[in-house]
Amino acid sequence: MAYTGRCACGAVTAEIAADAPIAVRQCWCRQCQQLAGGSHSTNAMFLTTDVTITGTLAAHAYTAASGNTLTQSFCPACGTPVMAQVSARPQFRTMRVGFIAPPHDLTPQMVIWTDDAPAWAVFPEGLERHAQQPPPPPSKS
């Protein structure tokens, strides 16, 4: 299955030439909570070579709790979060699931940065959990 993505205003689109993501994760790090307006973000990781973005992105880079430089990219016209790139893993693009056009099969497989989650957070039963940064996923090729 290939995937497509579109921001709310249509200025940024994506084609993702992958049959499946490398991983799909719910992230509760503080930065993702800010990005998502108070909850977790849900992200699908794909190989960088499989992702083609059309349109102009704005970006903000900072040092994340993991110690890596994290660059958050978004549509400058409507503000839709599009993807993240982490300096430690340039071979991956972490696409925001809300940016990816439905229908799709992107179901979270794990919950990460649970130590940063608020006391009211609920983690889905049966998902792998990591208190902070999980080990890097293997590249599927």
> CATH fold of 3-129, please?
2.170.150
**Confidence label for 140 from pLDDT (cuts 50, 70 and 90):** low
Digit-coded pLDDT (tens) for 62-111: 998 888 899 999 999 999 999 999 999 999 999 999 999 998 989 999 99
- Is residue 139's pLDDT more than 70? no
Mean pLDDT of 46-52: 96
The closest of 5, 14, 12, 16 to 75, measured between CA atoms, is: 12
Q: Where are the beta strands (DSSP E) in 1-141?
A: 3-6, 13-16, 23-27, 41-47, 51-54, 58-63, 69-74, 81-86, 92-96, 110-112, 128-129
Average pLDDT of the residues of the chain: 92
The closest of 15, 28, 38 to 95, measured between CA atoms, is: 15
> Domain map of the chain by residue range?
3-129
